[in-house]
Amino acid sequence: MKVANKLLLTGAAGGLGKVLRETLKPYCDVIRLSDKAAMEPAKAGEEVIQADLANAAEVNAMVEGCDAIIHMGGISVEAPFEAIMQANILGVYNLYEAARKHGVKRVIFASSNHVIGFYKQSETITVDSAPRPDGYYGLSKAYGEDLSRYYFDRYGIETVCLRIGSSFPKPRDRRMLCTYLSYDDLLRLLVASLSAPAVGHSIIYGVSDNPVTWWDNSGARHIGYKPQDSSAVFREEVYANTATPDPKDPAAIYQGGAFVKANP
Ligand code: NAI
Ligand code: 15L
């Protein structure tokens, strides 16, 4: 199934970007890969454009000619505000301004569970729960969610904000058994988000079908995402290799884990 003619993938040099470079290819005619960092040279069906999200002119050139965008680029962990401001706040503004100028119809925004990191692990929240960011990084993703809502309300650019949990080859700790998103489910989520007939401005949790979860995606059924993987297969290994968390540790109390006590 084709989801775009020319699909822009930002953050293409990153952990998820490198995986998606390969897995997204069958879903478009051309995939344009962009990052601030160096990338492998373009192969058949690829274009490579090095660009800094904080540079409006570079972002404008990066977006021109694309009909859909997957925005994975930016700082992906807690960091000093100045750095977050450039890459994630100015960066997402530059991206949507370029999308508006070039008539892009749909964007998939890699948001994060750190938008809601200060909810407790004893709570189940929905796609409509108010943001409770757990740091400058989470705040920047909340800004991206709000900015994309504005660009939908004002200019009609559709966005799906993916509040990704933990997308790695496997869960690294006990918290990630609840937040794990497999690479295959990430691809399913992206394809569903790009191919659903109408998404307007939507928020959905990027999570596999894990036995324990804090996130209720029932308000995002219109996207048609059906996870097929589960962290259950990693449970025994993770429990064997990790200590029992201290129940008084904020990292064990809040959904954002150690991010809630990071000192950038
Ligand atoms: P990553 O840190 O491996 O990749 C991010 C990429 O963005 C890097 O290649 C980096 O060079 C690029 N980048 C940073 N600043 C930039 C700038 N100013 N201009 C252009 N490119 C810039 O992160 P990862 O794990 O691949 O995540 C991808 C996206 O998904 C990120 O936006 C992250 O916040 C989000 N996410 C990832 C999760 C995960 O578990 N992997 C969980 C939640 C959200
Ligand atoms: C994120 O937003 C980060 O990008 C990723 O590195 C993980 O730490 C993930 O959240 C998480 O919460 O596990």
235: containing domain: 4-261
C-beta of 141 in contact with ligand 2 (< 6 A)? no
- The pocket around ligand 1, CB under 6 angstroms, is made up of 11, 13-17, 35-37, 52-54, 72-76, 87, 91, 110, 112, 164, 166-168
User: What pLDDT is recorded for position 245?
Assistant: 94
C-beta of 179 in contact with ligand 2 (< 6 A)? yes
User: What pLDDT is recorded for position 77?
Assistant: 98
**For residue 18, which atom of ligand 1 is closest to its CA?**
26
User: What pLDDT is recorded for position 61?
Assistant: 98
1 CA distance to ligand 1 centroid (A)?
A: 26
User: What pLDDT is recorded for position 33?
Assistant: 98
Residue 178 and residue 213 in contact, taking contact as beta carbons nearer than 8 Å: yes
Of the ligands numbered here, which is closest to the C-alpha atom of 94? 1
Residues 6+ apart with CB under 8 A from 72: 9, 10, 11, 12, 14, 16, 17, 20, 110
Tens place of pLDDT per residue across the chain (264 aa): 899 999 999 999 999 999 999 999 999 999 999 999 999 999 999 999 999 999 999 999 999 999 999 999 999 999 999 999 999 999 999 999 999 999 999 999 999 999 999 999 999 999 999 999 999 999 999 999 999 999 999 999 999 999 999 999 999 999 999 999 999 999 999 999 999 999 999 999 999 999 999 999 999 999 999 999 999 999 999 999 999 999 999 999 999 999 999 998
List 27, 93, 137, 143, catalytic entry = 137
46: enclosing H helix or E strand: strand 46-50
C-alpha span between 59 and 57 (Å, rounded): 5
Pocket probe mutation, ligand 1, options 32, 72, 172, 189, max atoms within 8 Å of Cβ: 72
Tell me the backbone φ, ψ of residue 32, rounded to 5 degrees.
-95, 120
pTM (global) more than 0.85 = yes
User: What pLDDT is recorded for position 1?
Assistant: 87
User: What pLDDT is recorded for position 241?
Assistant: 97
Pocket probe mutation, ligand 1, options 16, 93, 190, max atoms within 8 Å of Cβ: 16
131 CA distance to ligand 1 centroid (A)?
A: 20
C-alpha span between 208 and 227 (Å, rounded): 5
The total domain count for the chain is 1
CATH number at residue 19: 3.40.50.720
Whether 137 sits among the annotated catalytic residues: the reply is: yes
Amino acid in position 259:
F
